Amino acid sequence: MNKSVHLISLGCPKNLVDSEVILAGLSSEGFRPVDQTEKAGIIVINTCCFIDEAKQESIDTILEHVRLKEHDCETLVVCGCLVQRYGKRLVTLLPEVDLFVGIARMRQLGKILRQFLALAPGKRERIFSIQTSVRAWDEPAPRLLSTPQHYAYVKIADGCSHRCTFCIIPAIRGPYRSRPTADILSEAQGLAENGVREIILVAQDTGGYGTDREETNFLPDLIKTLAKIDGLEWIRILYIHPFRLDPKLLQTIREEPKCCPYLDIPIQHVSPGVLRRMGREGGDVRDKLERVRLLLPDAHIRTSLLVGFPGETDDEFDELLKFVKEFRFESLGVFTYSREEGTPAAKMKPQVHHLTRKQRRRRLMEVQARIVEEKNQHRIGKVFDVMVDGFDDADPRNLIGRTFFQTPDIDGTVLIPGGAPSHIGRRVKVKIIGSNLYDLIGQVQPSSCHSSRYTRRDFFDEGHLPVSDRDQLFS
């Protein structure tokens, strides 16, 4: 049989890490990863389903690949969140799919698939492991990276123990489980030895790292230890629940030169009534964000918002809109509420009309586009460190890179017309010469490649961190 396998990873970077682990497992079981579906005898789709759009994308992708089974593909495997959530229903609805694997055993998919294919077709079990995953990630999980060689995601925990009333993730992924620090460090060390310069820490709530374990090794300790690894130049942290914004974490981000001053804090809303109905604990998010601005005035603050939550009134939405205009987040994403079966919010009344949800999202995005445009105009003429990711797909004569405030596939990029290919995978000084709404345009400065030693000032042209007279606020 054709043992070449193509894996399609849907959803977020956390899912991408799972996909990379699956690929390594498939490879060690004798399967051969290929980058095109047309060349593959086996197709694996790692699905997402946290909102309607994600479910739809997963179903569409499965149906699109069912058609390939009429040609070269012999085996179609579906795994991940959609399987965990809908399990046996999918087995009936999608008879063309050969094998479904839930989250708990997904990392062993290589072994499961080898055993599955060794059986006669009539003896094959089509579904595996859909009990809720409660396993800790307590053993090393090798991966085949799918990101460019110089950056990688590192998953520091899985699951979530918050109980946001709109969210199905805890039911799919189980309670919050941090990975042992030694395991993360050994992975990061290995990545650095293989040329990774930037690691991006991910989890459902990175700020909660260590809170579920007896040892008191929390996110600030982890950042400090990771920063000692030679070769790593940037540490970026995604998804910090506002509840976790404590002084020690902010101080670490401020003081640790390798830690990007980029705070991704999904607040969802600001109206106390909406936040209460959402089950979002942790005090006034506005106070917390103002505090971050005060302590880290040059940090890039990103958030994600949820509009059209059940019962959201015009006044509550206006409160959010006003805050977005005043606070001027460096970037934000807006989701429209998705009524998810099995969540408390799905039963709340009144549900907001879907057109109102869309219209509220559009209004927020319009406001934010103007803010981003203005912020980008102010960046013209300034010089930033840029990690050069590769060639621009639209025009391979240009390079694409990212500053500390640009996360791959989430924020904009820096377009570098005529940049030298030798810069790919390196951090260079780039002067911003223009902008194009969410993206910047820049020129590499002469002799701009960095040694691996640098200071916090390298993030900024102005270099006005740290602000020592604000130290008292950390106490």
Residue 169 vs 440, nearer CB to ligand SF4? 169
For residue 381, what are its two tokens? 């003429």
For residue 279, what are its two tokens? 């089950």
Q: How far is the CB of 152 from ligand SF4 (least distance, A)?
A: 22
Contacts 24+ apart (CB under 8 A), 209-212: 209/156, 209/157, 209/178, 210/178, 210/181, 211/176, 211/178, 212/157, 212/161, 212/175, 212/176, 212/177, 212/178
Residue 145 vs 164, nearer CB to ligand SF4? 164
- Which listed range, 164-172, 194-202, 213-221, 365-373, lies at the site for ligand SF4 (CB under 6 A)? 164-172
Give the number of C-alpha atoms closer than 13 A to the C-alpha of residue 447, restricted to the C-beta side: 0
**Choice from 113, 160, 296, 444 touching ligand SF4 (CB under 6 A):** 160
Residue 170 binds ligand SF4, judged by CB under 6 A: yes
SS3 136: coil
Residue 133 vs 443, nearer CB to ligand SF4? 133
CA-to-CA distance for 13 and 204, rounded, in angstroms?
A: 10
- Which listed range, 7-15, 109-117, 159-167, 319-327, lies at the site for ligand SF4 (CB under 6 A)? 159-167
Closest CA to 287 of 299, 278, 295: 295
**Choice from 32, 39, 126, 162 touching ligand SF4 (CB under 6 A):** 162
Q: Provide the β-strand partners of residue 178.
A: 157
| DSSP 8-class letter at 239 | -
**Interacting positions 200-229 with ligand SF4 (CB under 6 A):** 204-205
Closest CA to 157 of 124, 185, 181: 181
Q: How far is the CB of 266 from ligand SF4 (least distance, A)?
A: 7
**Choice from 5, 78, 145, 167 touching ligand SF4 (CB under 6 A):** 167
Residue 164 binds ligand SF4, judged by CB under 6 A: yes
Residue 401 binds ligand SF4, judged by CB under 6 A: no
For residue 108, what are its two tokens? 């062993």
Q: How far is the CB of 373 from ligand SF4 (least distance, A)?
A: 29
Beta carbons within 8 Å of 158's beta carbon, 6+ residues apart: 14, 133, 137, 173, 174, 176, 177, 179, 203, 204
**Interacting positions 100-119 with ligand SF4 (CB under 6 A):** none
Residue 159 vs 401, nearer CB to ligand SF4? 159
For residue 77, what are its two tokens? 């495997």
- Which listed range, 35-43, 65-73, 162-170, 319-327, lies at the site for ligand SF4 (CB under 6 A)? 162-170
**Choice from 241, 254, 300, 361 touching ligand SF4 (CB under 6 A):** 241
Q: Provide the β-strand partners of residue 112.
A: none
Contact between residue 373 and residue 328 where contact means Cβ atoms under 8 Å apart: no
Q: How far is the CB of 343 from ligand SF4 (least distance, A)?
A: 9
Residue 20 vs 205, nearer CB to ligand SF4? 205
Q: How far is the CB of 204 from ligand SF4 (least distance, A)?
A: 4
Size of the site for ligand SF4 (CB under 6 A): 9
Q: How far is the CB of 160 from ligand SF4 (least distance, A)?
A: 3
**Interacting positions 254-273 with ligand SF4 (CB under 6 A):** none
What string of DSSP letters covers 190-224?
HHHHTT--EEEEE-S-GGGTTTTSSS---HHHHHH
Q: Provide the β-strand partners of residue 123.
A: none
Residue 204 vs 368, nearer CB to ligand SF4? 204
| Residues making contact with ligand SF4 (CB under 6 A) | 160, 162, 164, 167, 169-170, 204-205, 241
